[in-house]
Amino acid sequence: MFGTSAGMLIATYLGIDKLMHHTDTIAEHGPLMLLAVVLFLSGVQLLSLGLLGEISSRTYYESQNKPIYALREVKSHRKEMGDSTESTRPSGNPER
């Protein structure tokens, strides 16, 4: 996300400089323009890779009928609030 934002900021600066001052962007800011393109494309690729990883992990867990995470126990703050019920209870499937 940072790379995409930085690439867009640099590209915006170069675009404004081109429009306001009529400079030759390639001749004066060639490496900066290349940096903007590389940052933008790498940011988009990393974002896409993260989304693909999220989709594949969700597909894996749903196809196996597995929970994404498991809890040992659920703790409650009811004692602090004055309730006399039990403060912890086991979680998971009780039939096991």
Q: What three-state secondary structure class fits 45?
A: helix
C-alpha–C-alpha distance, residues 8 and 71, integer Å: 42
Q: Which residues pair with 75 in a beta bridge?
A: 88
**Residue spans of alpha helices (H) in the chain:** 2-21, 25-63
pLDDT value at residue 91:
58
For the entire predicted model, the pTM comes to: 0.63
C-alpha–C-alpha distance, residues 23 and 96, integer Å: 73
What is the per-residue pLDDT across 25-74, written as a single tens digit (0 to 9) for each?
889 999 999 999 999 999 999 999 999 999 998 898 888 888 877 888 88
